[in-house]
């Protein structure tokens, strides 16, 4: 097999009578819940940004970073809000259902904040 370099900097390999470009796809990282939500938002509301990131190969990395940041922020906010509202292990031991309700409300509030700040920004 013989490789050629063209003016555009791509290398090609010869397959019979054809030259096939040696192109590697970027590594796909799991984008998760928030990454999928961000992708949908970009497709619907920021189509130019979506197309640009898709074409230059940075879309998957962007979605992965959004997912990682959003997950970390949700965890931090849940911890901080639970502490502020007095939702602790003592409440969990004495009234489990009240603890579950409080934690669900806190998680929902934290997710709303993160969605507005990171995913839909």
| Helical spans, DSSP H, in the chain | 32-45, 47-56, 59-85, 89-94, 96-114
Distance CA 57, CA 74 (A): 28
Predicted confidence at residue 1, as pLDDT, reads 46
What's the alpha-carbon Rg for the chain, to the nearest Å?
23
pLDDT by residue for the chain (121 residues), tens digit each?
A: 455 656 567 788 888 888 888 777 667 889 999 999 999 999 999 999 999 999 888 999 999 999 999 999 999 999 999 999 999 999 999 999 999 999 999 999 999 999 999 999 8
Task: Domain ranges for the chain, please list them.
Answer: 27-119
SS3 25: coil
């Amino acid at each position: 097999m013989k490789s050629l370099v063209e003016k555009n900097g791509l290398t090609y390999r010869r397959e019979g009578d054809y030259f096939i470009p040696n192109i590697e796809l970027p590594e796909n990282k799991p984008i998760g819940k928030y990454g999928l939500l961000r992708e949908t938002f970009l497709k619907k509301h920021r189509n130019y940004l979506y197309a640009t990131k898709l074409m230059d190969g940075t879309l998957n990395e962007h979605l992965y970073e959004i997912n990682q940041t959003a997950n970390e922020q949700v965890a931090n906010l849940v911890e901080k809000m639970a502490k502020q509202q007095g939702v602790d292990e003592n409440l969990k031991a004495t009234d489990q259902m009240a603890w579950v309700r409080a934690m669900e409300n806190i998680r929902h509030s934290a997710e709303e904040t993160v969605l507005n700040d990171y995913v839909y920004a």
